[in-house]
Structure 1
Amino acid sequence: MSQRQIILDTETTGLYPDSGDRLVEFAGLEMINRQMTERSLHLYVHPERDMPEEAAKVHGLTIEVLEEKNAPPFAAVGREIAEFIRGAELIIHNARFDVGFLNMEFARMGLPSVEELGCKITDTLAMAKEAYPGQKNSLDALCTRLGVDRSKRVLHGALIDCELLGEVYLNMTRRQFDLMGGAEEETQQEKTFVASPTQRTGRLKVIRANEAEAAEHEQYLDALGEECLWRKSTSAGERA
């Protein structure tokens, strides 16, 4: 059975989960066998605090906007998020940031951490740094490099970022996936070859050296001296 993968992103009030910042948006898109399923989870969350102007400029979510969307506090949706991601591989760009906020919010509710929920974490930022060292590896930069259309992304948003990240991840891993598929095909070909060896007919034609070639060979062996393995093996064969 293939493992569930969740393309995941969050938006927050700031950068520091240990200093009072809170999660304000969660999005997760389920993928199985490199195909998006119809299952997803997208939630706006009231942070129960003010929204810094700098953060609102990034994602466009002011407290007024969240209240208009009737966004609940995290305590009302935390268990739903935990059950949605449980046991899945999480595909996240800059995973340390999102996992840090999720673990902070889960801890406030007494819920298990992302790791304790049995999630495997794949960080596409780390993948990109390895694949494209010394280059810009933001989500925008990767979309441009890999030909992913990001024209709909006016502001940062967890849902649109998940959709873009899903395409980026599939592009970044396509070659690896193709190589894995090719390896399986090659293995099957090898099995077929072993099961049906080529049948030889007739006898091999032996072409013997002429006198001049034989004499030249003997001169070469003389130059090797007493340690010549060819003559030792020939003598042993004759004694046998």
Structure 2
Amino acid sequence: MREIVFDTETTGLSTADGHRLVEIGCIELVNRVETGNSFHCYFNPGRSMPAEAEAVHGLSDRFLSDKPSFASQALALLEFVGDSPLIAHNAMFDFGFLNWELADCGHAPIDMARMIDTLAIARKAHPGAKHSLDALCSRYGIDRSHRVKHGALLDAQLLAQLYVELTGGRQIGLLLKSDAREKTVENRVRHEQAAPVAAVIRIARPHMASEEELERHKEFIAGLADPLWLAGAAG
């Protein structure tokens, strides 16, 4: 199964306030394993970068000034993601910006039914705990020492590892459900068809001492000097 883990960076928190997408990073998984295929691009948002947003991801107006527009890269992005499920942390935020940008340049939005939100998965798995990407990476022992600032591709790489851990780790199951069901039926048929094992009846062992053993015991007792039980009887 092919899945795409992605993350975005933006100029702010809401498209309603005129904020735009400035970076996207996508990681391809096949059967929960990274393939090495990725899509990464910076975008010129066509507006200034607020200082508070730049403090988070470090993307300045100068850095983004020569980057392509989202519209010019939309087809390449859509071709990469294909019809695969899309995984993000706090996915409503990322889907909101991605679909706004797609609509703005004349493309159909991505169906929300394809969305998998690792934040929702983490909240269910660890109620009451911290659910930020940093906190969850610490919980699962995922190395994030190289993460100084937010970055879409780096965060997608970390999220890909986290997603695998949240959904059962590398060894989710050695058999598909259908295979497991067939194996269960096969084992039951083998059990029912197996030839019955004949019971082995052993002759009971004697539990009483023989006459010879009783006589030897009597001789042994007679040879004891001042046995305690005789001393008690005499008293």
- TM category (shorter chain) comes to 0.7 to 0.9
1:52 is matched with which residue? 50
- Aligned pairs, how many? 199
d(CA) in 2 for partners of 1:167, 1:130: 18
CA shift for structure 1 position 195:
3.0
Structure 1 segment 114-193 matched on structure 2, within 5 A: 114-115=110-111, 120-174=114-168, 178-179=172-173, 181=175, 186-193=180-187
8 A contact 2:164–2:170 mirrored in 1: no
8 A contact 1:46–1:72 mirrored in 2: yes
d(CA) in 1 for partners of 2:87, 2:16: 23
8 A contact 1:59–1:155 mirrored in 2: yes
**RMSD value, Cα:** 2.3
1:83 is matched with which residue? 79
d(CA) in 2 for partners of 1:11, 1:37: 23
1:22 is matched with which residue? 20
CA shift for structure 1 position 85:
1.7
Q: Which protein, 1 or 2, shows the higher relative CO under an 8 Å CA cutoff with sep ≥ 6?
A: 2
SS at match of 2:26: strand
Moved over 3 A (4+): 179-189, 201-205
d(CA) in 2 for partners of 1:160, 1:176: 20
Q: Calculate the TM-score normalised by the size of structure 1.
A: 0.76
1:90 aligned partner, one-letter code: L
Percent same amino acid at aligned positions?
Answer: 41
Distance 1:186 1:102, change over 3 A: closer
CA shift for structure 1 position 167:
0.7
8 A contact 1:18–1:104 mirrored in 2: no
Say yes or no: does 1:72 pair with 2:72: no
d(CA) in 2 for partners of 1:60, 1:175: 32
More helix by share: 1
2:92 to 78, 96, 120: 96
CA shift for structure 1 position 148:
0.3
8 A contact 2:142–2:158 mirrored in 1: yes
CA shift for structure 1 position 189:
4.2
8 A contact 2:24–2:42 mirrored in 1: yes
SS at match of 1:171: helix
1:216 is matched with which residue? none
Say yes or no: does 1:42 pair with 2:40: yes
8 A contact 1:91–1:124 mirrored in 2: yes
8 A contact 1:125–1:137 mirrored in 2: yes
d(CA) in 1 for partners of 2:162, 2:188: 40
SS at match of 2:172: helix
Of residues 25-34 and 52-61 in structure 1, the stretch that sits farther from structure 2 once superposed is 25-34
Q: Which string of whole-angstrom CA distances, capped at 9 and with x for unpartnered residues, describes residues 187-221 of structure 1?
A: 3542332232232145899xxxxxxxxxxxxxxxx
d(CA) in 1 for partners of 2:135, 2:6: 18
Q: Which string of whole-angstrom CA distances, capped at 9 and with x for unpartnered residues, describes residues 101-136 of structure 1?
A: 0111011111010118xx611000000000011111
Q: Which string of whole-angstrom CA distances, capped at 9 and with x for unpartnered residues, describes residues 135-185 of structure 1?
A: 110000000000000000000000110110011111111259635748667
Gaps of 5+ in 2: 202-235
d(CA) in 1 for partners of 2:37, 2:169: 26
